Amino acid sequence: MPGQDAGTPRVFLYRHGQTEWSQNGRYTGVTELDLTPTGRKQVSASGKMIVGSGKLIDPANIARVYISPRKRAMQTFDIAFDDSDKQALQGKDKVTQKEERLAEWGYGLYEGLVTKEIRALRKERGLDAERPWDIWRDGCEEGESAQDVTDRLDSLIREIRASHKDNMHGENPSDIVLVAHGHLLRAFTKRWLGYPMEFPLLLMLEPGAVGVLSYQHHNIDEPALLVGYGFPVDEEE
């Protein structure tokens, strides 16, 4: 890993590729959808560029891959990692499939709707008279609240930090890969940084894209968002 942060553990946030509903802006929680052909191409393109030996996500540096239980996330992992890397990781028991803490936000009554439909539905039910619905503050009727999501993500973050605390200078492979969903991974980022869900931190993560979290100064108590990252270089060139 290049630069002064060489060896500092990282968490890679790998969002699944496009589905029919993500293309249309529909909230997709428990509904099982396949990646679209475009979604498969998105993941293949990012995987070829950044996943593999000597690349940004190097299987040799990975401590664990956590995958959401939804089919679209599992398809993303299958496409992003080549067969030999998947076999090596699974052979060393480094892949956690169907990790419920990474399931997308439970949207309840709002499953399959777009934002304007949700706000219209809530208005009909006498809600949000003073301000429009915001999932980060208001959660979802018959689904998950912001606190529900906070609790399960905080549990995962504690687990990840426990694995990182004795590896802040690259003592052992310690990178983590999370293969999951748009809302969920943005929620994870807020909690990684210690912000409540309603904190107005606007984040974007495109289908098939990868974000990176780490720590400042090799310090477990200074979790950080890597706004920009230098790619590995060949020191022999």
Q: How far is CA 82 from the centre of its chain?
A: 20
Residue partners of 216: CB distance under 8 A and separation at least 6: 222, 224
Q: Is 107 annotated as a binding residue?
A: yes
CA dihedral 66, 16, 206, 227 (to 10 degrees): 20
Q: Does domain 11-225 have CATH number 1.10.150.20?
A: no
Q: 82-103 burial string, b = 16+ CB within 10 Å, else e?
A: beebbeebeeeeebeeebebbb
- 52 near 59, Cβ under 8 Å? yes
Average pLDDT score over the chain? 94
Model confidence at 222: pLDDT above 60: yes
Distance CA 208, CA 75 (A): 11
Q: Which pLDDT does position 229 carry in this prediction?
A: 73
Distance CA 97, CA 66 (A): 6
Q: What is the pLDDT of residues 100-152, one digit of tens each?
A: 999 999 999 999 999 999 999 999 999 999 999 999 999 999 999 999 999 99
Q: 115: exposed, middle or buried (C-beta count within 10 Å: 0-12, 13-18, 19+)?
A: middle
Q: Is 215 annotated as a binding residue?
A: no
Average pLDDT over every residue of 210-226: 96
Model confidence at 6: pLDDT above 60: no
Taking residue 204's Cβ as centre, other Cβ atoms within 10 Å add up to: 8
Residues that are catalytic: 16, 104
Model confidence at 5: pLDDT above 70: no
Q: Is 110 annotated as a binding residue?
A: no
Residue partners of 3: CB distance under 8 A and separation at least 6: 230
Q: Is 106 annotated as a binding residue?
A: yes
Q: Is 29 annotated as a binding residue?
A: yes
- 186 near 37, Cβ under 8 Å? no
Distance CA 110, CA 121 (A): 9
Q: What is the pLDDT of residues 140-193, one digit of tens each?
A: 999 999 999 999 999 999 999 999 999 999 999 999 999 999 999 999 999 999
Average pLDDT over every residue of 76-102: 97
Backbone φ and ψ of 210, nearest 5° = -130, 130
